[in-house]
Structure 1
Amino acid sequence: MPRAQNKWSGEVTKHSDALDLEPHIFESDDPREIADSLKRSAEHSSRRKGSAYQSAMSMLTFYINRAGKNLDAKHRKTLEAAKEELRKDFGRETKH
């Protein structure tokens, strides 16, 4: 398979019909900034199929899963923390 065909996930992230993402948002090292950006994008999207929360969390999870082994431990931790921030933003905090 040509290399370009293996990179479809990057195109999905850049050109998703679900959300218009702020450029380079997943590169941030601030979980709060990532969560706030995803929330804004989800709330302003007229093309999403589910709730704003579902769309934002799905895009974040999609990115984490597709990045896979290419994510270093520090950045993975930041992205996982962004999930918690999203839950707080939408009033869906997990109780420990």
Structure 2
Amino acid sequence: MSEKWSQDVTDNSDALDLEDGVFTKDDPREVAKSLKRSAEASDRRKTDPYRSAMSMLTFYINRAGKDLDSDQKQVLEDAKDELRKLYDREPQDD
């Protein structure tokens, strides 16, 4: 297999159709808004849109984390807070 399984999940998620380049954006709010749109548009997700979007973001950070530069990792971590704001969720300890 030429791709890592985690890349395949990111590219071909059964739950979300992700916007191309969503995890390379440099604005945390834009990352969160894109994930929110994808989660709300999906009819294949198995849980609520917030949880689906947060799960995909966390999955990506955890699987790509060692290969992300520190600036991009911070953008994605900040996107978690933006996602919580978009869904009116209280911050939790991650």
Report TM bin, short chain: over 0.9
- 1:66 matched to which residue of 2? 63
Letter in 2 for 1:58: S
1:15-94 to 2 correspondences below 5 Å: 15-94=12-91
Matching residue of 2:8? 11
Amino acid at match of 2:80: K
User: 8 Å contact 1:84–1:93 — kept in the other structure?
Assistant: no
Q: CA deviation at 1:35?
A: 0.1
TM-score normalised over the length of structure 2: 0.92
> Could you tell me how far apart the structure 2 residues matched to 1:54 and 1:94 are?
13
> Which contiguous aligned blocks of 4+ residues in structure 1 show a shift greater than 2 angstroms?
none
| Higher Rg of the two aligned structures | 1
Structure 2, unpaired ranges of 5+: none
Q: What is the percentage of aligned positions where both structures have the same residue?
A: 63
| Offset at residue 71 of structure 1 (A) | 0.9
Per the TM alignment, residue 72 of structure 1 is displaced from its structure 2 partner at its CA by: 1.1
* TM-score, normalization by structure 1: 0.90
Paired residues, number = 92
